Amino acid sequence: MNEQDDPRLNARRRFFGALGLAAVAAPAAAFEADGGTGGLPPQKESEAEKRKPRYRETDHVRAFYRTNRY
């Protein structure tokens, strides 16, 4: 039996082909043809949210820096 006739290999190829197709199709399904998001309004940030600090050095961040010597 040669490699092309092996049903396990063919099933595996079909599986990975479908997986690759799903990886491309899933993000594309979130948008319409014109690039819109289906009428969902964009989330607005208030002035306070725009100015608030976004980075917080928490305990787990400090532990990461300590273990990786940053």
Task: Write out pLDDT tens, residues 41-54.
Answer: 777 888 888 888 88
Residue 38, pLDDT score? 65
On whether the CB atoms of residues 3 and 9 are closer than 8 A, the answer is yes
Residue 16 tokens, joined: 């990975």
Return d(Cα 49, Cα 38) in angstroms, integer.
26
Residue 44, pLDDT score? 86
Residue 59, pLDDT score? 94
Query: Regarding predicted confidence, which is higher, 62 or 24?
Result: 62
